[in-house]
Amino acid sequence: MTKAEAKNRVELLRKAIERHNHSYYVLAQPAISDFEFDLLMQELQGLEKKYPELQTLTSPTQRVGSDLSEEFVTVAHRFPMMSLANTYSEEEVRDFATRVEKAFDEPVEYVCELKFDGTSISLTYEKGVLLRAVTRGDGVQGDDVTTNVRTIRAIPLQLHGKDFPSDFEMRGEIILPHSSFEKLNVEREDIGEQPFANPRNAAAGTLKTLDSKEVAHRNLDSYVYYMLGNDLPFTSHYDSLQHAREWGFKVSEHTCCCKGIAEVLQFIRKWDVERRKLPYDTDGVVVKVNSYAQQRALGFTAKTPRWAIAYKFKAERALTRLLSVDYQVGRTGAITPVANLEPVKLAGTVVKRASLHNADQMALLDVRLNDMVYVEKGGEIIPKIVGVELFQRPADSEFLPYITHCPECGEELIRLEGEAKHYCPNEYGCTPQIIGKIIHFISRKAMDINGLGDETVELLYRHELIHNAADLYTLKDKRMQMIELERMGEKSVDNMLESIEQSKQVPFGRVLFALGIREVGEVTAKKIAEFFPSLEELRQADLEQLRSAYSVGEQIAKSVLAFLNDEKNKLLLVRLIEYGLNFKADAKCLLSSNLGNATFVITGTLSRPREDFKAMVERHGGKVTSSISKNTSYLLAGEKAGSKLQQAEKLQVRVLSEEEFMSMIADS
């Protein structure tokens, strides 16, 4: 590889790694496996080592990804949440043990634990009570997600017994069991939302959900695996875990104390097979030195402890031939390339198709027709191509260009800034988008119209009885035409028409969700309807007012405005209003109007969860937003208020203490 070629490859790798970092840590939507990511990072590190002049301070090799969110209070970790050194090699596990044992003249015990495939959490307890739950973040600071974590039944709010330290932290993993994951994805598909790729993705996304009731509904689980504190009453890691179990923590029953490296490798080999029988995902085994004294003696590198290593299982993969590539068009116009493969058995099922994700991923893989490709199951669920066997590539193979026009309607594709996918902009003339929007509109968590499945919508569209969601409310005048269609008996048509009529009673928040505004999910639509209780008020809002609404960020606000300002959407809304749909929220039962429609932002640590204060504001006539602006009336600030307090002072927004706020609502 020449220096020029190396430079081009480094730039491609950096862009890919940064995109995957963002997908994994911020969006909780990983597109590739850990093994694939590690290979990309190792290749980049190798090129930067070989060509030092290509190194930069902004390279992904110089920093750690983060899952920080602007929607949560950022909290500094008392003890840094460091990463573990990863390996896929038993030989490197042996090397780890050799380095450790050379440091001591006494025997070394190891604790082997299953490496749960979820999202890390740090739990702080004071006097046996859960004080705070914080995500890993960037390892130095993370997001305070205590309100959501309190809904997880596996995490004790009050410890059992009396022998626990007065102040300590437990580190653990929040996971989504297979049963809960499958149920959640069925619900998401039912309302037309993209299913989660794997349980880890779902767990991470759920933990960052702003509605703690939705978090409780998803049935997250948790296991703890490490205790931290200044004066812990234990001499070993294994002993601390046994006591933690007695206090009410969920500790894996498979955790094992091993006398030497032979027992460690036996544990790894056993669970590389047995893990498939577990009710949750694991992606490896963590090996830790048991003795706390030996851990302290070994210490840390800049990023990882020297007394622990993570052995990661390789995902099961198969080699097969790529026959062709289809390009699927989603409801939002997003294009997804899908590979058609020679059938191959993988993880107990026959795989014929696999995801190629997007144009960047196809270019990174340099995948070509008739290539022999490696296929894995992402999270052991969704098949995807992860590599090409170049030694078997045909001599006459040619680069496979990404399509430039929509495969359904022929419209030229666009790619929005900062996004990996291409889109078809012809949302009103592209059949899959039109049908997809109608299917989303009728889904259970939207308008909940019974008797109208995907096939029926396609049938009605194909016979030109409907062209958009508003046309559903004209079907009562086409009853006889519907009855004459295949699989459309008189009774089923009448039931469908009755359900369409009943949908006019659906609340405003669900109607907003049904419209299929890009970026606006079920919870966000509900929040918007609470803040702007009628379509008319929503239409009058500008970008800043939309951004100030609770849980609505800038991208969502721009998407809402774009939808409302589109001429065809305006006509659609006029028709839906004429047909009697509910575009005004029901008046809430207020305890008082003391707050006079004032707008509040809540920050800092208060005596009760923030959701409780939000409810109090709303029950006394106020509104709650997520960010400070010139439209904010008050900042309700607890301890450690942080940057929002500074913003309020800069904008001259009045700051209230908890006591002052309670006095405002007292006279009711």
Rg (CA), the chain: 28
Give 505-530 pLDDT, tens digit per residue: 999 999 999 999 988 888 788 888 88
The most confident of 16-25, 425-434, 619-628, by mean pLDDT = 425-434
**Whole-number percent of the chain with pLDDT over 90:** 45
Inter-residue long-range contacts of 595-598, CB under 8 Å, 24+ positions, other chains counted: 595/620, 595/621, 595/622, 595/664, 595/665, 596/621, 596/622, 597/621, 597/622, 597/623, 598/622, 598/623, 598/633, 598/634
**CA 642 to CA 341: how far, in whole Å?**
54
Any idea which of 16-20, 266-270, 281-285 has the lowest mean pLDDT? 16-20
**CA 322 to CA 104: how far, in whole Å?**
53
- Residue 66, number of CB atoms within 10 A of its CB: 19
Question: Predicted confidence band at 329 (pLDDT cuts at 50, 70, 90)?
Answer: very high
Mean pLDDT of 151-164: 87
Mean pLDDT of 480-484: 91
* pLDDT value for 109: 96
Extract the tokens encoding 75: 């909290």
What residue ranges define each of the domains in the chain, with the CATH number in brackets?
1-63 (1.10.287.610), 74-312 (3.30.470.30), 315-400 (2.40.50.140), 431-505 (1.10.150.20), 508-578 (1.10.150.20), 599-664 (3.40.50.10190)
* pLDDT value for 57: 64
Q: Can you say how many angstroms the Cα of residue 38 is from the centroid of all Cα atoms in its chain?
A: 20
Positive or negative torsion for Cα 315, 319, 320, 325: positive
CA distances from 204 to 4, 69, 179, 201 (A): 39, 12, 17, 5
Amino acid code (one letter) for 534: S
CB-based contacts of 320, cutoff 8 Å, min separation 6? 341, 342, 343, 344, 351, 372, 373, 375
The most confident of 135-144, 424-433, 448-457, 578-587, by mean pLDDT = 424-433
Amino acid code (one letter) for 568: K
Question: Predicted confidence band at 65 (pLDDT cuts at 50, 70, 90)?
Answer: very low
* pLDDT value for 28: 61
Collapsed DSSP state (helix, strand, coil) of residue 308? strand
* pLDDT value for 378: 56
Out of 115, 208, 526, 527, the active site residue is: 115
Q: Is 13 left (phi over 0), alpha (psi -120 to 50) or beta?
A: alpha
The most confident of 171-175, 179-183, 526-530, 658-662, by mean pLDDT = 171-175
Mean pLDDT, the chain, rounded, equals 87
Give 310-327 pLDDT, tens digit per residue: 999 887 789 999 999 999
**CA 425 to CA 332: how far, in whole Å?**
9
CB-based contacts of 332, cutoff 8 Å, min separation 6? 423, 433, 436, 516, 518
* pLDDT value for 476: 93
Q: Which residues pair with 300 in a beta bridge?
A: 305
* pLDDT value for 608: 76
115 in catalytic set: yes
Give 5-53 pLDDT, tens digit per residue: 889 998 999 888 878 876 775 566 777 777 778 788 888 888 988 888 8
Does residue 97 or residue 189 have the better pLDDT? Answer: 97
Question: Predicted confidence band at 286 (pLDDT cuts at 50, 70, 90)?
Answer: very high
Mean pLDDT of 407-418: 90
Give 499-510 pLDDT, tens digit per residue: 999 999 999 999
| Matching residue, tokens 């004080």 | 131
Pairing of strands 282-289, 110-116: antiparallel
